[in-house]
Amino acid sequence: MKLRKILLLLIVVSTVLTACKKDDDFGDPVQLRDATEVYEEDLEDIEEYLQTHFYNYEEFQENSPYSLENDEFRIVFDTIAGSNIDKIPLMDMVDYKTVPFGGIDYKLYYLNVRQGLGNEIHFSDQATLIYEGSSIIDNLIFDSAVNEEKFNLLTVGTSLGVVTGFQQGVIQFNTSDSYTDNNDGTTSYHNHGIGAVFIPSGLGYFDQPLEGVPSYTPIIFKFNLYERTILDHDLDGIPSYMEDLDENGNAYNDDTDGDLLPNFVDNDDDNDGYFTRDELEYEEYAIMVGDPEPIFADNEFESSRQENNGVITIKTVIITDRDDDGVPDYLDIDTIPES
């Protein structure tokens, strides 16, 4: 039977953190500037900040990196001056990655205080974290969350995601590997990633002013990354991160059947008339907290996990290729589901 595809309305929305409150006083319109010129200025400001500031690394180093004490660690930046003149500058501690965006190869610096012992997080996942956003010029805090909040890292439809620089910084870290229910409505996470990312305005809000922060201002986000939820935006059985076939971090440019619906919002990726989810196989595992993780087959990938009363239920998707032609069944128009 010919099956209809799910038609999802892809609305282009501003990629802002949902918690951010933008300046309500629009005033005069902001003059649009050349992005390359702005980036050059931003990079100079960021690198000057990294040379002249440090973080409270000595406090972190008082304990083992993966200790209960450091589970509560919060990054604090300060200027290298006066009694702090001997501190190690951030520039000697940060890493960077190149992020292509809008025709510019941005240099994105990030501080890895603690990698985290849990799961890697994908660019299309939902992240649970705490964070603080500030201006790199005057350290003005424009947004923060002291209690964990959930954010989609990818903007889809009417759901707001996060700015690209934040997304690309967070995915360098891992989640917690365990947590404690404090029986008071709060949760203590353990061994999670702790870091910060220094964002040129072109990977942030660019010409959009924030409350107290002018347009074209580079920003900093500090964060503790607690959990991830793997998202499957079209509910076709394939996690959205796996639908980025060219692995370039952009799920919108992968469209196997050329129907103008990217695979991650297309529930029939090869347009053969059968739902993608019917061209896959599935497995489910149940383990106790603290047990070894199950070993997956080479073509098997985790799609979700839930914990309930100490039991972790892990669901996986198995990518089949029944005719051994190197093309997965769900992307192969010549292979149909078995009846």
The pLDDT of residue 267? 95
Distance (Å, rounded) from C-alpha 87 to C-alpha 59?
13
The pLDDT of residue 310? 87
Q: What is the pLDDT of residues 121-167, one digit of tens each?
A: 999 999 999 999 999 998 899 999 999 999 999 988 766 679 999 99
Q: What is the pLDDT of residues 159-188, one digit of tens each?
A: 667 999 999 999 999 999 999 988 888 899
Distance (Å, rounded) from C-alpha 236 to C-alpha 251?
15
**Residue bearing tokens 């190869």:** 105
- The pTM score is 0.88
pLDDT of 329 > 70? The answer is: yes
Kindly tell me the burial class for residue 136, based on how many C-beta atoms sit within 10 Å of its own C-beta (0-12, 13-18, 19 or more): buried
The rounded mean pLDDT for the chain is 90
* Residue (of 57, 132, 120, 44) closest to 92 by Cα position: 57
Q: What is the pLDDT of residues 46-85, one digit of tens each?
A: 999 999 999 999 999 999 999 999 999 999 999 999 999 9
Contact 76, 234 (CB under 8 A): no
* Residue (of 257, 136, 118, 245) closest to 193 by Cα position: 118
- 281 against 2, higher pLDDT: 281
Which pair of tokens denotes residue 159? 């759901």
Percent of the chain residues past pLDDT 70, beyond the cut: 90
Taking every pair of Cα atoms in the chain, the longest distance, rounded to a whole number of angstroms, is 75
- 9 against 300, higher pLDDT: 300
SS3 content of the chain, % helix, strand, coil (to 5): 15, 30, 50
Distance (Å, rounded) from C-alpha 262 to C-alpha 255?
5
Overall average pLDDT of the 248-260 stretch: 94
pLDDT band for position 28 (50/70/90)?
A: low
Contact 162, 15 (CB under 8 A): yes
Overall average pLDDT of the 303-317 stretch: 92
Coil vs helix vs strand at 290: coil
DSSP string across 185-254? S-EEEES-EEEEEEE-GGGTTTT--BTTB-SS--EEEEEEEEEEE---TT-SSS-GGGG-TT-SS-GGG-
Contact 231, 158 (CB under 8 A): no
Which pair of tokens denotes residue 126? 């939902």
The pLDDT of residue 18? 39
pLDDT of 8 > 70? The answer is: no
Q: What is the pLDDT of residues 204-253, one digit of tens each?
A: 999 998 888 999 999 999 999 999 999 999 999 999 999 999 999 999 99
- 212 against 7, higher pLDDT: 212
pLDDT of 26 > 80? The answer is: no
| Domains contained in the chain, CATH given | 35-229 (3.10.50.40)
Extended beta strands in the chain, E state = 53-55, 77-79, 95-101, 104-114, 126-135, 141-152, 178-181, 187-190, 193-199, 219-229, 281-288, 300-308, 311-318
Overall average pLDDT of the 254-273 stretch: 95
Overall average pLDDT of the 31-40 stretch: 95
pLDDT of 23 > 70? The answer is: no
Phi, psi (5° rounding) for residue 167? -55, -50
